[in-house]
Amino acid sequence: MSAVLPTILTPILAPVAAATVIALGRRLPGPIALAGVVVALLASGMLLAAAFSGRVSPLVLPGLPEMPLRLEAGPLSAVLSALVAVIATFVLVFATGYMRADPQRNRFFATMLIFVAAMQALVLAADWITLLAAWEVIGATSYLLIGFWYRKPGVADAATRAFLYTRSADLGLYLGVFLLIGAAGSSEISATLAISGPAATLGGLLLLVAAMGKSAQLPMQDWLMRAMAGPTPVSALLHSATLVAAGAILLIRVSPMLPGQTLVVIGLVGGATTVVTGMIALAERDLKRLLAASTSSQYGLMLLAVGAGAPVVALLHLIAHAAIKSGLFLGAGVFQHQRGSTRLEDLAGVGRAHPRIFAGFALAALSLAGIPPLAGFFSKDAIIAATMSAPGAAWLLPLGLAGTVLTGAYMARAMTLLWRGPHAPAGGGNPDLVWMGSGMGALVALAAGLGAGFPAVEELLGAHVATSAVAMALGLGAALAGLALGWKVDGARLLGPLAGRAERGFAIGGGMDALVARPALALARACDRFETRLFGAVLAVGRATATIAQGTRVSDERGIDGAIFGLVRATIASGARARRLQSGLIHRELALTAIATGLIAAALFAAPLLL
Amino acid sequence: MSRDLSFLLPELVLMVTAALMLAGEMIRRPRLVLGIGLVGLALATGLAWPLLKADTTVFGGTYRIGPLAVWSKLILLPATALSLLLARAELAGKFREGSVYSLMVLVSIGALMLAGSGDVMLLVLGVVLTGLGSFALVAWPADDPATEAAMKFLVFGSVAGAVMVYGLTFWFAGAGSTLLSALTGIDRAPVLAAAGLVGLLVGLGYKAALVPFHFWAPDAYEGAPVSVAAFLSVVTKVAAIFALAQALSALPVQTGWQWAVAVIAAISMTYGYLAALVQSNLVRLLAWSSVAQSGYFLLGLVAVGGGALARESLIVFAAAYAAMNIGAFAIVLIGGRDMEAIGGLGRRAPARAAAMSVFLLSLTGIPPLFGFFGKALLFGAALDAGFLWLVVVAILNSVLALGVYLRIVVALYAPAEAAQPAPQAGAAVSTVWIVTLVITLVMGVLTRLLTG
């Protein structure tokens, strides 16, 4: 295959090819989509193997002059590519069952495949232009996926909100990237990582803004919870290894460039997010929204690790979280399939009716909380250890520990609510459940056992992750304390006076709306008023002439008024014409042009004195 | 002499073509006129191709055969051919439809003259030649809105042309020559330099529909046939931008022209998009959007004295702009001029709605479409010239652009209120949107081919 097509293109092109086949053939979308992602998975596996053996060769395509497009499966990219491929495969296995009855499943699978292809392009990109392109395609397809059920009330609004939030934050990416390219004189990512000084500080902060938008960090966390309006496989994919991960991946990739003060800011943003969104998760009344808030919180922990100067640790947590969170979402999807709702009160006791699914959910939940020997334990332990030895340990360590306690508490709360409650017998054998269960089962197995693979990843990336007995004791203690609290005490009581605010998502969403959406709309309205006024002036002139003409007619009723009538008719007609064209006042417009020309002339005459 | 004429083969072919087209129109054979026009344009484009390597002047330095001039032929002549096809789709069977085709080819000769001018006299000739044909094209439907729009266009053009000629005489006084290459020393006479510059900006700014010389554009585009609006928004605009580049590249920066151009750029982008934001008539909206796009062109212009990147950025963006703008106008021609008319087009004609979305996203500058690569190069050129603030303004305006263009995309995919049939589209207009769509989708990645 690599003779015809470079292996590195396969993870991107295979899903695109499958999407094309679905779009053209319009039948069997599930199996075709699976075939596409499995081919991508094989290619990603080959890339990973090549990275292990140290044979990495970049693929250079013609792009802009001096700025060719580059794809390269270096160690970090190969690991991420494999991660994306694995999660996408199992999520699509699940989706084959979940979407079986949906009349729009062709559209669903095709969009999912494009999304996966864009994510592969993002992780494999070795130059900023490719990365920007992939970033944009991810944004656009996530809009389509979140808004998939656009006929349902509120869904289109949620999709638009997600798009606007991430899109505004993307400005940071554009400015940051252009700054980095300008400073380094090359669009190659590895070349820009060598820069230092103010450009690195400012560029890092600008990229942080973009990452905050995509990874739903404070204060832009609100869109993620609303994005739950999409189908569950979408949530599982978006929240684990893809859309939300893009922000963290961006920071992990540029972390070698980031100077100390930028790292501190990143760490604080992550730490604040992990605590605040952890509390939101504790107060949520909807299972999917709880998981969404938890995603924000876990990405906060990753940013905390990046801020502590341990990007590899952040990567480990990203990998563990990807498997865990997609497993949890798929579990939530099964429950939703059974009860037709994701509200926790409707789901009470659903776990007892499906003990095997619940067991999987609980295993993933415990892994997220950080219970050994599950994967989450190793990554969370490494984060705690990293914050202990970081320069800002006094700030970062308490935030990390608080995040861990909260993780345990809200996962325990979810488990109690799903387990306790009226026992209703499960519906009979459902063929969809086979697909859904096997997709979820594979992910849960990964969530539990991935920890065993971490040393290999560390070795591949050439980094040694420090750990210590103290960190392990602290982390495990925090996790157990959280679990116990969440199991025993009601979430609302645990938060005390903060409960109400946490339930409303700390209402910071309103602040972002005021910052982004409202000014844009207000400006548009102001322009509208300006136009209307100009239009009014035109009409007024027309009316005035018509009135004068009318007056003339009255005063000279019996005169030779053919000419006057003609004038009136002409005036009214020209008024109507002016109205059609919105402006007939060419002399006024010429006057504006003349004034502006005068200003330009004045400025230019003054220029030699100034320059 | 024969050497000079060999460099002018494309122009000569076009003149013969235009004459034959007029003859065909006299015997009222519109299909023949169209055929002659398409063949002539194709032939002229083909003859321009071998000139790509040339970098010289003819007729004593008055006419330039360089990258800008040759690329203007390779971009504007196919754009004219696409406009002819649009006009055929829109006006087939109407009285004197052939005159539209021949006028378009005549205007395209003026456009080439503008883009290749090396002398102020040629600038003036180009403005007049493009202007005369354009007035007639706008007035062609001969109904009230078209007549009024053409009248306004003519009055504006006369005033701007007069100011331009008057201003350019100062340059002659300062440089002692009408050659643009003689301008290098004109900063020794700053007042004369500034007066000439004002004239140049007014005359060519009017042609390129830059704020504050843009007032004619929305009315003229709305009054004219859609195909003529597409033609004017691409061919005469790009020609004017290239002419500005030819004139400004020799002008010393001490005259402050970079700042004047940068300020006009910032105002054009912002004002154009703000005004586009409240339009419900798609032709007016595209007119305002083309005002804003002219502002983006100026990003490359501020750097034009510096290096090759500025010239490359202008060429690439001109190609991208020609494809995506003509494509958007083609879909408007099929779907209808009103926002309501295209509502739900996504259901009735999914391929055309998708194509429209691609054109609009490319106009916004979303990668990996062609428009993005053009804009990225323009940004790079402006950065090289030290105009970081202008690049920031341009990037912020891209957000406004998204608001402008997404409104149309949203309308395209809104549920249709009544089950209307899919709008009919003939082979001519389908060719136009498919060709421009392929260019918009594919050329971005192949940008390097354009810049060599």
Tens of pLDDT, residues A182-206:
888 888 888 888 888 888 888 888 9
Q: Which of B254, B377, B396 minimises the CB distance to A608?
A: B254
Q: Which of A520, A581, A586 minimises the CB distance to B155?
A: A586
What is the rounded distance in angstroms from the CA atom of residue A317 to the CA atom of residue A301? 8
Q: Which of A62, A132, A592 minimises the CB distance to B446?
A: A62
Helices (H) and strands (E) in chain B, counts: 20, 2
pLDDT at A510: 45
- Using CA of residue A93, residue A95, residue A99, residue A104, what is the dihedral sign? negative
The C-alpha angle with vertex B383 and arms to B381 and B388, in degrees rounded to 5, equals: 140
Pair of tokens at residue B260: 């004047």
Residue in A456, A278, A483, A288 with CA at minimum distance from that of residue A367: A483
pLDDT at A492: 63
Find all residues with CB under 8 Å of A557, minimum gap 6, and list them: none
Chain B residues inside the 8 Å CB shell of A524: 274, 277-278, 403
Label residue A514 exposed, middle or buried (CB < 10 Å: 0-12, 13-18, 19+): exposed
Pair of tokens at residue A473: 């004791």
Q: Which of B198, B218, B254 minimises the CB distance to A601?
A: B198
Confidence of residue B93 (pLDDT cuts 50, 70, 90): confident
Higher per-residue confidence, B33 vs A503: B33
DSSP string, A566-603: HHHHHHHHHHHHHHHHS---HHHHHHHHHHHHHHHHHH
Please, what is the average pLDDT of chain B? 91
pLDDT at A501: 65
The model's pLDDT over B381-391, given as tens digits with 9 standing for 90+, comes to: 998 888 999 99
Here the ipTM equals: 0.82
What is the rounded distance in angstroms from the CA atom of residue B237 to the CA atom of residue B235? 5
Chain B residues inside the 8 Å CB shell of A148: none
Q: Which of B255, B368, B392 minimises the CB distance to A607?
A: B255
pLDDT at B326: 96
Question: Which of B399, B409, B410, B451 to mutate to probe the A interface, most A CBs <10 Å?
Answer: B399
pLDDT at B187: 79
pLDDT at B236: 96
Find all residues with CB under 8 Å of B394, minimum gap 6, and list them: B265, B269, B295, B296, B299, B375, B378, B379, B382
Confidence of residue A579 (pLDDT cuts 50, 70, 90): very low
Confidence of residue B419 (pLDDT cuts 50, 70, 90): low
The model's pLDDT over B183-238, given as tens digits with 9 standing for 90+, comes to: 888 878 888 899 999 999 999 999 999 988 998 999 899 999 999 999 999 999 99
Percentage above 70 pLDDT, chain A:
81
Q: Is the CB of A611 less than 8 angstroms away from the CB of B392?
A: no
Other beta carbons less than 10 A from residue B132's beta carbon: 16
What is the rounded distance in angstroms from the CA atom of residue B220 to the CA atom of residue B215? 9
Chain B residues inside the 8 Å CB shell of A198: none
Residue of chain B whose alpha carbon sits nearest to that of A579: B145
Are A373 and A362 within 8 A, CB to CB? no
Are A246 and A300 within 8 A, CB to CB? no
Q: Is the CB of B367 less than 8 angstroms away from the CB of A132?
A: yes
Residue of chain A whose alpha carbon sits nearest to that of B309: A65
Nearest-neighbour CA in chain B from A490: distance (Å): 44
Nearest-neighbour CA in chain A from B13: distance (Å): 33
Question: Which of A61, A135, A535, A581 to mutate to probe the B interface, most B CBs <10 Å?
Answer: A581
Higher per-residue confidence, A428 vs B127: B127
> What CA–CA distances, in Å, run from B331 to A383, A429, A474?
55, 51, 64
Of these ranges, A32-46, A428-442, A502-516, B405-419, the one predicted with the greatest mean pLDDT is A32-46
pLDDT at B452: 57
Q: Which of A582, A583, A603 minimises the CB distance to B260?
A: A603
The C-alpha angle with vertex B387 and arms to B385 and B389, in degrees rounded to 5, equals: 165
Token pair 């023949």 in the structure block, residue: B32
Q: What is the mean pLDDT of residues B124-134?
A: 93
Residue B245, H or E segment: helix B237-248
Question: Which of A597, A599, A610 to mutate to probe the B interface, most B CBs <10 Å?
Answer: A597
Q: What is the mean pLDDT of residues B43-49?
A: 94
Other beta carbons less than 10 A from residue B401's beta carbon: 28
Between A238-242, A343-347, A556-560, B438-442, the lowest mean confidence (pLDDT) is in A556-560
Nearest-neighbour CA in chain B from A607: distance (Å): 5
Query: What is the domain partition of chain A in residue ranges?
Result: 1-202+212-257, 266-505, 536-610
Q: Is the pLDDT of residue A546 over 70?
A: no
Q: Is the pLDDT of residue A303 over 50?
A: yes
Query: What residues form DSSP beta bridges with A59?
Result: A71
pLDDT at A183: 85
pLDDT at A578: 40
Phi and psi of A423, rounded to 5°? Answer: -90, 110
Q: Is the CB of B215 less than 8 angstroms away from the CB of A133?
A: no
Please, what is the average pLDDT of chain A? 81
Nearest-neighbour CA in chain A from B35: distance (Å): 35
Q: Is the pLDDT of residue B370 over 50?
A: yes
Token pair 């920007």 in the structure block, residue: A132
Chain A residues inside the 8 Å CB shell of B213: 593, 596
Chain A residues inside the 8 Å CB shell of B280: none
Chain A residues inside the 8 Å CB shell of B163: 597
Between A192-201, A289-298, B327-336, the lowest mean confidence (pLDDT) is in A192-201
Phi and psi of A257, rounded to 5°? Answer: -85, -20
Are B225 and B232 within 8 A, CB to CB? no
Higher per-residue confidence, B339 vs A5: B339
The size of the A-B interface in CB pairs under 8 A is: 145
Label residue B419 exposed, middle or buried (CB < 10 Å: 0-12, 13-18, 19+): exposed
Q: Is the CB of A590 less than 8 angstroms away from the CB of B155?
A: yes
pLDDT at B361: 93
Find all residues with CB under 8 Å of A261, minimum gap 6, and list them: A201
Pair of tokens at residue A489: 């005490």
The model's pLDDT over A479-538, given as tens digits with 9 standing for 90+, comes to: 888 888 888 877 666 666 666 666 666 654 444 555 555 554 566 566 666 656 665 665
What is the rounded distance in angstroms from the CA atom of residue A399 to the CA atom of residue A183? 34
Q: Is the pLDDT of residue A272 over 80?
A: yes
Are B242 and B72 within 8 A, CB to CB? yes
Q: What is the mean pLDDT of residues A102-113?
A: 89
Q: How many residues does chain A have?
A: 611
Pair of tokens at residue A446: 């990964």
What is the rounded distance in angstroms from the CA atom of residue B68 to the CA atom of residue B238? 11
Q: Is the CB of A168 less than 8 angstroms away from the CB of B187?
A: no
Chain A residues inside the 8 Å CB shell of B368: 133, 137
Query: What is the domain partition of chain B in residue ranges?
Result: 280-452
Chain A residues inside the 8 Å CB shell of B400: 520
The model's pLDDT over A373-389, given as tens digits with 9 standing for 90+, comes to: 888 888 988 898 988 88
> What CA–CA distances, in Å, run from A41 to A116, A212, A244?
11, 29, 21
Q: Is the pLDDT of residue B439 over 90?
A: yes
Nearest-neighbour CA in chain B from A202: distance (Å): 15
Between A29-33, A258-262, A266-270, A499-503, the lowest mean confidence (pLDDT) is in A499-503
Chain B residues inside the 8 Å CB shell of A65: 309, 312, 377, 447-448, 451
Q: Is the CB of A531 less than 8 angstroms away from the CB of B191?
A: no
Q: Which of A171, A524, A593 minimises the CB distance to B278?
A: A524
